[in-house]
């Protein structure tokens, strides 16, 4: 399939679906993201098979379903293989001001509300391609180059699918589909519970692409992104339930969103899902305040976000406006260490991070974490790690 790399690369870069079929059409359902298959409609499936069987070789066919608003390209080779690109939204329906209300009006004559919802969501999920004419030119040039053709003619075929055709075989809520929905939600609840507990190992084998495989966009870049976004939402909500401060969640969430946006092929989703699970469960392990009272949560958050300036019990008590003696007793009971010990442990933890990840001087690091006296910093570092800062760095 190396000869198709150029073609696949161009289509993927524009978010388009590129499918290669032999004469037996073994990948037939992938041509339209299983749209016809999900409708359970033999009429639509047979009509497309018949259309493909009648294609002439070395001609680029521009196949338009006008009332459903999408386009697919077909190109048949002399060996019987059929290349398809799409579906994507028809350019005129995006750019022409006369079609601004297309999504609101195009499917109004579909009486079944579930069928109408499915068809509209399918249409809305398709890529918007405002450079259709340019794509045709690029695709034609590549076809001529890859298959050594002097010219590739273009033929436009426009078809209308009647509403009654769409409805044939439509069964939106079979017992099997309801069972699958119930199982998916039960699995998601179990997944969130494990994230909430910070149980990384139990989640690494999680079937992240379950939603993608049930989508009409199966196997596509968009299916991977959609499934990862669902997974990210589940993780974020679970970490919130574990009483992790929103600051930490937002930091990881923003990074994960950038990673999801960088996915260009379906197969990349596994690495992103793995990284997502590790990062979110690490948040729970490091920052969960579940089980603490509101006063202690406030105290810990204040210390964690003010490490360079907070130094004592009174600093914390004053900041959260609570009696110092009461805070001291409550903190020891719930956290099992004094406020001062907790402050020093967090400062030394941050100092270890800087020693591992920066070339800053030890004196500079001491100042960053709130120690103005280097000797005192050395003393506290040794107390918590049994090493001096220099020894710790030398062992890295």
* DSSP per residue, 4-29: GHHHHHHHHHTT--EEEE-TT-TTGG
Alpha carbon distance 126, 17 (integer Å): 10
Determine the pLDDT at residue 175.
Answer: 45
Q: Please give the average per-residue pLDDT across 204-210, as a whole number.
A: 72
Vertex 230 angle, CA 119 and 182, to 5°: 75
Determine the pLDDT at residue 95.
Answer: 46
Alpha carbon distance 364, 393 (integer Å): 14
Q: How many CB atoms lie within 10 A of CB 360?
A: 13
Determine the pLDDT at residue 274.
Answer: 92
Q: Look over the chain and give the mean of its residue pLDDT values, rounded to a whole number.
A: 83
Phi-psi region of 251 (alpha: psi -120 to 50; beta: other; left: phi over 0): alpha
Strand boundaries in 259-310, DSSP class E? none
Determine the pLDDT at residue 212.
Answer: 52
Q: Lowest-pLDDT range, 20-24, 150-154, 173-177?
A: 173-177
Q: Lowest-pLDDT range, 114-118, 226-230, 324-328, 334-338?
A: 114-118
Determine the pLDDT at residue 174.
Answer: 47
Q: Please give the average per-residue pLDDT across 178-197, as a whole number.
A: 82
Q: Please give the average per-residue pLDDT across 348-364, as a whole number.
A: 94
In this predicted structure, the answer to whether residue 241 has a pLDDT above a threshold of 80 is yes
Q: Please give the average per-residue pLDDT across 45-69, as a whole number.
A: 82
The pair of three-digit structure tokens given for residue 28, joined into one six-digit string: 């037939």
pLDDT band at 10 (very low <50, low <70, confident <90, very high): confident
Alpha carbon distance 335, 93 (integer Å): 62
Determine the pLDDT at residue 235.
Answer: 94
Which ranges of 306-373 would DSSP assign to H, the alpha helix?
313-319, 324-335, 339-357, 362-368
DSSP 128: B
In this predicted structure, the answer to whether residue 96 has a pLDDT above a threshold of 50 is no
The pair of three-digit structure tokens given for residue 19, joined into one six-digit string: 């499918």
In this predicted structure, the answer to whether residue 225 has a pLDDT above a threshold of 80 is yes
Percent of the chain whose predicted confidence (pLDDT) is above 90: 46
Phi-psi region of 126 (alpha: psi -120 to 50; beta: other; left: phi over 0): beta
Q: Which of 232, 250, 149, 237 is nearest to 193 (CA)?
A: 237
Q: Please give the average per-residue pLDDT across 281-303, as a whole number.
A: 94
Task: Note the maximum CA span of the chain.
Answer: 88
Q: Which of 322, 338, 393, 326 is nearest to 363 (CA)?
A: 393
Determine the pLDDT at residue 91.
Answer: 55
**CA separation, residue 149 to residues 59, 61, 81, 242 (Å):** 11, 16, 16, 62
Each residue's pLDDT tens digit, 150-168? 888 988 776 655 555 555 5
Q: Lowest-pLDDT range, 61-75, 279-293, 359-373, 375-389?
A: 61-75
Contact 260, 229 (CB under 8 A): yes
Give every CB contact of residue 63 below 8 A, 6+ residues apart in sequence: 51, 71, 72, 73, 74, 86, 157, 159
In this predicted structure, the answer to whether residue 27 has a pLDDT above a threshold of 80 is yes
Contact 234, 195 (CB under 8 A): yes
Q: Which of 232, 240, 288, 295 is nearest to 260 (CA)?
A: 232
b/e burial code for range 226-265 (CB count within 10 A of at least 16 → b):
bbbeebbebbbebbeebebbeebbeebbeebeebbeebee
């Amino acid at each position: 399939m190396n000869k198709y790399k150029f073609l696949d690369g161009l289509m993927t870069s524009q978010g388009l679906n590129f499918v290669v079929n032999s004469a037996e059409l073994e990948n037939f359902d992938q041509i339209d993201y299983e749209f016809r298959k999900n409708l359970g409609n033999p009429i639509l499936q047979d009509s497309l098979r018949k259309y493909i069987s009648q294609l002439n070789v070395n001609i680029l066919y521009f196949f338009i379903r006008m009332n459903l608003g999408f386009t697919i390209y077909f190109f048949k080779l002399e060996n019987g293989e059929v290349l398809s690109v799409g579906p994507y939204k028809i350019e005129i329906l995006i750019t022409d001001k006369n079609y601004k209300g297309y999504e609101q009006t195009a499917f109004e004559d579909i009486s079944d509300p579930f069928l109408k919802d499915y068809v509209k969501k399918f249409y809305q999920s398709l890529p918007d391609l405002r450079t259709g004419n340019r794509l045709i030119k690029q695709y034609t040039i590549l076809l001529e180059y890859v298959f050594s053709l002097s010219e590739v003619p273009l033929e436009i075929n426009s078809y209308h699918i009647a509403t009654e055709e769409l409805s044939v075989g439509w069964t939106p809520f079979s017992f099997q589909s309801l069972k699958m929905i119930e199982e998916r939600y039960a699995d998601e609840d179990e997944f969130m519970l494990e994230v909430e507990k910070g149980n990384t190992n139990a989640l690494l084998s999680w079937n992240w692409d379950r939603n993608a495989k049930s989508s009409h966009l199966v196997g596509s870049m968009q299916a991977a992104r959609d499934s990862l976004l669902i997974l990210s939402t589940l993780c974020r909500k679970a970490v919130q339930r574990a009483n992790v401060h929103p600051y930490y969640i937002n930091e990881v969430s923003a990074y994960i969103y950038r990673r999801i946006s960088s996915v260009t092929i379906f197969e990349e989703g596994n690495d992103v899902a793995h990284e997502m699970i590790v990062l979110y469960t690490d948040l729970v392990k490091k920052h969960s305040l579940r089980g603490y009272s509101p006063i202690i949560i406030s105290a810990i958050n204040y210390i964690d976000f003010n490490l360079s300036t907070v130094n004592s019990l009174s600093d914390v008590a004053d900041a959260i406006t609570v009696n110092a003696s009461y805070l001291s007793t409550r903190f020891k009971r719930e956290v099992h260490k004094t406020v001062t010990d907790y402050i020093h442990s967090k400062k030394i933890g941050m100092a270890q991070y800087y020693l591992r990840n920066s070339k800053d001087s030890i004196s500079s690091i001491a100042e960053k974490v709130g120690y103005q006296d280097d000797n005192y910093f050395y003393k506290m570092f040794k107390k918590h790690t049994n090493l001096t800062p220099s020894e710790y760095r030398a062992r890295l």
